[in-house]
Amino acid sequence: DIQMTQSPSSLSASVGDRVTITCRANQDIRNYLAWYQHKPGKIPNLLIYAASTLQSGVPSRFSGSGSGTDFTLTISSLQPEDVATYYCQKYNSAPFTFGPGTTVDVK
Amino acid sequence: EVQLVEAGGGFVQPGGSLRLSCAASGFTNYINWVRRAPGKGLEWVSIIYSGGDTYYADSVKGRFTISRDKSKNTVFLQMNSLRADDTAVYYCAGDSGLCSGGGCYNKDYYYFYGLDVWGQGTTVTVSS
């Protein structure tokens, strides 16, 4: 099965900073990748699918890029409400594995 | 908008069984079960497509079975031989069917573009 990794595992940044999270697959998954935001006490929220397509209703400060094995999620200007754990998920074929997550905090 | 409501969580001893249910208010192309163990990240567990195909994570294969009752628009997760490491909040999640254009089908030509509809979750605790 394809393994997913994310880096960093956690980060702390200031409001307004540009934040980048990396997701890597150990085999080619083309652009079959989604990103989720999971806030404490809330249900997960789909941010991006097909590696770079912004889900309806998601703020435009979120963007995704990449293809093949390397992907990034970028928050262009970090806001206090962005404190959450972010996960990538591959969906080229089952199993639809999630990455281990990246926890984002605001300084 | 599709809504999902889980039920069936609870406390069970190791080796025991539980059946979770996920009632959908409308059509979904697929329903997944995703869990989050205490202190851990999200873990994909299983999927059932509207056509009936099913898949499982290796960690639950042979112990968990996903099924559905079309007449009640409800998906079930039968969990047998439960272990302490199955303790988690279990979410059912699916799609709103609103995806259009590219990225809506994976390489196996199954409609899948992520999980944009989630239930509130139900807690399963496996402990002696």
Kindly report, residue by residue over A21-40, the tens digit of the pLDDT: 999 999 999 999 999 999 99
| Average pLDDT score over chain A | 97
Distance CA B22, CA B47 (A): 12
Distance CA A82, CA A65 (A): 19
DSSP calls for A23-60: EEESS--TT-EEEEEE-TTS--EEEEETTTEEPTT--T
- Supply the pLDDT for residue B102: 77
Give the nearest partner residue to A55 out of B108, B116, B118, using CB atoms.
B116
Name all contacts of A21-24 with Cβ < 8 Å and 24+ positions apart: A21/A72, A21/A73, A21/A74, A21/A86, A21/A102, A21/A104, A22/A70, A22/A71, A22/A72, A23/A66, A23/A70, A23/A71, A23/A72, A23/A73, A23/A88, A23/A99, A24/A69, A24/A70, A24/A71
Distance CA B41, CA A86 (A): 10
Q: Is B1 helix (H, G, I), strand (E, B) or coil?
A: coil
- Supply the pLDDT for residue B1: 85
Exposure letters B10-37 (e unless 16+ CB within 10 A, then b): eebeeeeebebbbbbeeebbbbbbbbbe
Inter-chain CB proximity A100 and B41 less than 8 Å: yes
The closest alpha carbon to A98, from B42, B32, B30, belongs to B42
- Supply the pLDDT for residue B122: 97
Kindly report, residue by residue over A31-72, the tens digit of the pLDDT: 999 999 999 999 999 999 999 999 999 999 999 999 999 999
Inter-chain CB proximity B34 and A95 less than 8 Å: no
Task: Tell me if B80 sits within 8 A of B64, measured CB to CB.
Answer: yes
- Supply the pLDDT for residue B120: 97
Using a CB-CB cut-off of 8 Å, the residues of chain B touching A96 are: 32, 44, 47, 55, 112
Task: Tell me if A44 sits within 8 A of A87, measured CB to CB.
Answer: yes
- Supply the pLDDT for residue B103: 83
For residue A30, the chain B residue with the least C-alpha distance is: B107
Give the nearest partner residue to A101 out of B41, B98, B99, using CB atoms.
B41
DSSP calls for A46-103: EEEETTTEEPTT--TTEEEEEETTEEEEEESS--GGG-EEEEEEE-SSSS-PBP--EE
Kindly report, residue by residue over B85-109, the tens digit of the pLDDT: 999 999 999 999 888 877 888 888 8
Q: Is the peptide bond before A44 cis (omega within 30 degrees of 0)?
A: no
Q: Is B61 helix (H, G, I), strand (E, B) or coil?
A: coil
B100 or A93, higher pLDDT: A93
Interface of B with A in 76-115 (CB under 8 A): 91, 93, 98-99, 102-104, 106-108, 112-115
List the pLDDT tens digit at each of the 128 positions of chain B.
Answer: 899 999 999 999 999 999 999 999 999 999 999 999 999 999 999 999 999 999 999 999 999 999 999 999 999 999 999 999 999 999 999 999 888 877 888 888 888 999 999 999 999 999 99
- Supply the pLDDT for residue B36: 98
- Supply the pLDDT for residue B109: 85
- Residue A7 pairs in a beta bridge with A22
